[in-house]
Structure 1
């Protein structure tokens, strides 16, 4: 079912603070603009120095400080920690995290050189980087009393194509991770969901992968004929779920005609015996207290580390 546009559900984010990774261009930059229009302060993390100009432009337009930028390689924990700590020091905390940083370098990897660094980069940014950013975000939001995390995936998280073999693997990983975070609201009042999985978007994101070893990839002759997703549709996907407190672990496709929720796969009936259902009930009663204890320990470690760094 295609959902109606509902970005107006979130008419104001006054007083909220958002961290946006990959916010210097493309989807991330478009989301930054909408966040500021709705009253939020933003902190942009990106490996592109263009982020300095983007943040400065928002500040000039607003006539006050509404944006900050920090060079951030999301594959590094230290960079992620510094980014979220900047949001604390500049604007008082973090309420929203838009985890949008990504790369398509070596997307078509099946016959590329057997190079460890080349092979791992796309996974370190798109999958591991998103996980690292989210783990730091959860700690900051738990300390603040809750928040919302949006992880940008892709239609490649559900579909496949030879030209996107590594890229598709990373985006499938994003979906799996987010679906596994549905317990978080009961533990720390943090909702984590994949808000948008866009099909092809009219950005420069994939321009540098249209050739492999200098040979044009025929896949992109096909892509040029596929209708693209308007940025307004992607924005609708993001802000629909920022305004829906019941949404959690959602997968939402962004197509040229609008956004469409993807129904979660249910457990196969052969797994649902009387014994397994009883065991599940027992597990669910124990799981939330278990994770609350883990969160408490994680916050203690993180706060201790911050104090030790400040002393140095």
Structure 2
């Protein structure tokens, strides 16, 4: 049985390139996208071979029901999900400083357009919960059937280098990408231990995709600052691997290597031009900050366990 993968935002740009890579690796890929013509894109990827043809699942990743349908469709194929690429993303839907000013200030401003946050962050959070559910369900179903437990799964979030740096032209986009980086670094180890899948993020620099305004690609290419898709796929291959060994063209920066014998998890791969850089969190300012973050005595855990119990959660 072929391994099973889910890709969101799968019918264009980085998602399409990742889907093709997984197909070439022998995965049965379930390609989710809001594009009504996505089925035509997916049909064009089918080829006569032993590898199952990819399947298109139409839906809006910002809708929990749509994303849950995508997961259920994939899980029904083989009762396990090996890889989930949370890739769908959009740029800012408004300029937060461009609100027309009423000279009398009698009218209230229009509500914030939450589309960017709903897709770039909310959908990743919902996707993570779905991955937890189906990973645990696969373990339960395998045990009930007295079959081999499922292998360690993989979840990879497409973040951005603007999850590391300021991005004044798209500040909400930058905020969501900072948030997904924090999510991955905070939950990576727990996901592996508690839900049987690794959690990592790819942070691409400027890769020519449909998100880029017309004419911008040529100008950036003239500067020599294009990041090619092959470098993104190199980072993807790193996170699909079985060990933490770093291949050529991948280096760890900012923090000492803390690699064990197992696969990478909780890692963020900055992808810039032809290089991949594994980024840790910012250095701790002092021992107090390290103590709070690492929680060696379990005070955070116990404090919030009591709070949630008191709140009935």
TM-score (norm. length: structure 2): 0.75
Partner SS for 1:23: coil
| 1:185 paired to 2:202 | no
- Structure 2 CA distance for aligned equivalents of residues 285 and 115 of structure 1: 39
Give the 5 Å matches for 1:9-24: 15-24=2-11
Kept after mapping to 1: 8 A contact 2:9/2:88: yes
1:132 aligns to what?
A: 126
- Structure 1 CA distance for aligned equivalents of residues 173 and 222 of structure 2: 19
Say which of 79, 93, 98 aligns to 1:106.
93
Say which of 110, 116, 120 aligns to 2:111.
116
Deviation, 1:159, is: 1.0
1:50 aligns to what?
A: 37
- Structure 2 CA distance for aligned equivalents of residues 112 and 63 of structure 1: 55
Say which of 21, 35, 38 aligns to 2:22.
35
- Structure 2 CA distance for aligned equivalents of residues 121 and 23 of structure 1: 19
- Provide structure 2 residue ranges, at least 5 long, that are not aligned to the other structure: 101-108, 140-151, 244-261
Deviation, 1:138, is: 1.8
Partner SS for 1:253: strand
Kept after mapping to 2: 8 A contact 1:23/1:46: yes
1:174 aligns to what?
A: 180
Deviation, 1:29, is: 0.5
Deviation, 1:280, is: 3.2
2:233 aligns to what?
A: 235
2:280 aligns to what?
A: 263
- Structure 2 CA distance for aligned equivalents of residues 123 and 208 of structure 1: 24
2:296 aligns to what?
A: 281
- Structure 2 CA distance for aligned equivalents of residues 184 and 133 of structure 1: 13
Kept after mapping to 1: 8 A contact 2:159/2:180: yes
| 1:252 paired to 2:269 | yes
Partner SS for 1:150: strand
- Structure 2 CA distance for aligned equivalents of residues 223 and 164 of structure 1: 21
Q: Give RMSD over aligned pairs.
A: 3.1
| 1:78 paired to 2:65 | yes
Higher relative contact order (CA 8 A, sep 6+): 1
Kept after mapping to 1: 8 A contact 2:3/2:81: yes
CA displacement, residues 153-197 of structure 1 (integer Å, 9 cap, x when unaligned): 011111112112111111111111111112121112211111x21
Q: Which has the higher helix share?
A: 1
Partner SS for 2:114: helix
Deviation, 1:88, is: 1.5
Partner SS for 1:281: coil
Deviation, 1:222, is: 6.7
Distance 1:19 1:71, change over 3 A: same
Equivalenced residues, count: 264
